[in-house]
Amino acid sequence: MTDPPPKESGYLLLWRSLKDNPIWREMPYSTCKLWLWILMDAKWKTVGPLQPGQLNHSFSFICEAMEWTDVEKHKTRTPSHHTVRAGLQRLKDDGCIEFVSDKRGATLITV
């Protein structure tokens, strides 16, 4: 009889509709939020030129997707392009993603 896997292993089912939840909109930007968004937005099947595990957006679109509402100040906050690029670079350095930007401003991300 084999031992059961440790509780830390395995996977977590994450609904893509989490992005539509008000709690998501109140969560400030972090590299973790960016990572979760990438996982939720990545294609799960081939769609046009995108393969499973890929997404393609401009930095402006990604920054807008990372917006959050500061409920105490009643303001919407958006991270800068520099902040998002640093988050993508961190995820790349950690081996979570690969990404490449083209001259038109589109960024292809592969999980």
- pLDDT tens sequence across 50-74: 999 999 999 999 999 999 998 888 8
Write the CB contacts of 30 (distance below 8 Å, at least 6 apart in sequence).
87
List all residues 6 or more positions away from 31 whose beta carbon is below 8 Å from its beta carbon. 87, 90, 91
Q: Residues in the chain with pLDDT < 50?
A: none
Give the predicted TM-score (pTM) of the model. Answer: 0.85
